[in-house]
Amino acid sequence: MHVNAGGARDAPVPPRDAGVSFVMPVLNEIGYLERAVRTVLEQDVPGPMELVLALGPSSDGTTELARRLAEEDQRIVLVDNPEADIPTGLNLAIARSTLPTIVRVDAHSELAPGYTTRALQTLERVRAANVGGIMRADGRAPFQRAVARAYNSPFGLGGGAYHGGTREGAAESAYLGVMRRAVIDEIGGFDESLRRGEDWELNLRIRRAGYRVWFDPALSVTYWPRESWTRLARQFRATGAWRGELVRRYGRRNSLRFFAPPALVLAVAASIVVGILQATGVLSGVAALVASVVYVPVLAYLALIVAVAAGPGGGRGWRDKLWTLAVLPTMHLAWGMGFLAGVFSGAHDTVDTSRLGTRNTPLP
């Protein structure tokens, strides 16, 4: 059945057995790469398939592991990505690939069985240019489980469809994405001037060109978040900075949910300033009482964090709940501070340093 919704243009539909190219940028993923690759190679694809790994300059043995995997399976192709930037790596991998449908895969993720088959069926049914599904974050230790819970919660990352949506339909963006090569070639691939937010920007250009971006909740990808507090903070600060850059470039085309974390940062900053002025006597009497209104949103936020941490699905034990109390404000405040810096001065050369010089614990 052909469903015409979203954009006005139908994306081309290649023959069902034309094959699929999987593309994956890789940097310092020794603990995750083998499992990620295995879930790709186990996909049931009608026709030929290939997996192109764009290898950044890893320092933890990832490159050596990738070379071993490529020697063991001829479907794996390696390309160098010396700059380590994700958009550049994706473009290099797509240029090296040969098949008409592109599946973006993350080295920190695992495709569910049947993912590719379902995505191909959805692409053909709705004539979309890109389709994505649910990101199901997961964790092993209490900290990582707390981060995963925050990812999966509407309160954690703002309620985007791919963090828990249940209704299929046209979408603003797609998590990872299963894309028609012809459309990606037409719009010029990923923007290499961005270091984060490249998916959202690509999907914006897809929609501007008149094509559909589609969300299908039947598609599921497991994502393994960062494993330490410092790496999480660095990741979210960089992500926020690049979202601020995207707001500088595209303004109102950004969803309102992106402005909640910077609003929280400003509320916290205002509360600190007012608290200091009250404590030093600069503000007193009626003025101090009126100024105390700035505490209301911060107190409401703290109450909400406690409720989320203590509520159903709070993890396997008290450590998970305590980490949730730390993880949520870390994500929101780091992202919000990065956003404000990106909006006012641009992201410039901001890099997600959480991916550099790390050694991940291998998955069981």
**Longest distance between any two alpha carbons in the chain, whole Å:** 76
Q: Is the pTM of this model over 0.75?
A: yes
Q: Summarize pLDDT for 38-48 with one digit per residue, the tens.
A: 999 999 998 99
Nearest to 354 by CA among 232, 241, 242: 232
Q: Give me the percent of the chain exceeding a pLDDT of 70.
A: 91
- From the number of C-beta atoms within 10 Å of its C-beta (0-12, 13-18, 19+), residue 300 rates as exposed
The predicted pLDDT at position 78 comes to: 97
Q: Summarize pLDDT for 347-360 with one digit per residue, the tens.
A: 888 888 776 755 55
The pLDDT-based confidence of 1 (bands split at 50, 70, 90) is very low
Domains identified in the chain and CATH numbers: 20-227 (3.90.550.10), 247-354 (no CATH)
The pLDDT-based confidence of 8 (bands split at 50, 70, 90) is confident
Phi, psi of 341 (to 5 degrees): -65, -40
pLDDT at 289 over 60: yes
